[in-house]
Amino acid sequence: MNTKTSELLSLVLGRRDTLDAEEVAALGRLSVETRTYAHGETIIPAGPTPDESCLVVGGMALRVQPTRSERGVVSAVHIPGDFVDLHALVLEYLDHSVVAQGECKVQLVNMEQLRQITRDFPHLTRLLWMLTLIDAKIHRAWLAAGATLRANERIAHFLCELYARYDTIGLVNGGSFAMPLEQKDLERLFGLSKAHANRAVQELRARGLIDWTRGKVTVHDLDGLETLGAFDPTYLEITQAGR
pLDDT over 70 (residue 13):
yes
List pLDDT tens digits, range 25-67.
Answer: 998 888 889 999 999 999 999 888 888 889 999 999 999 988 7
In degrees, rounded to 5, the angle at the alpha carbon of residue 208 between the alpha carbons of residues 205 and 212 is 40
pLDDT tens digits for 165-191? 999 889 999 999 999 998 888 888 888
The pLDDT assigned to 224 comes to 97
Q: What is the CA radius of gyration of the chain?
A: 18
Q: What is the pLDDT of residues 185-200, one digit of tens each?
A: 888 888 888 888 899 9
151 falls in which pLDDT band (50, 70, 90)?
very high
Task: Report CA torsion sign: 131, 35, 182, 74.
Answer: negative
CA distances from 167 to 42, 80, 102, 104 (A): 27, 11, 20, 19
pLDDT band at 6 (very low <50, low <70, confident <90, very high): low
C-alpha closest to that of 99 among 65, 68, 128, 67: 65
Q: Report, as an integer, the average pLDDT of 86-113.
A: 88
Rounded Cα gap, residues 19 and 13, in angstroms: 8
Share of the chain above pLDDT 90, in %: 55
The pLDDT of residue 2: 45
More confident of the two residues 152 and 187: 152
pLDDT for the residue 5: 60
pLDDT for the residue numbered 212: 94
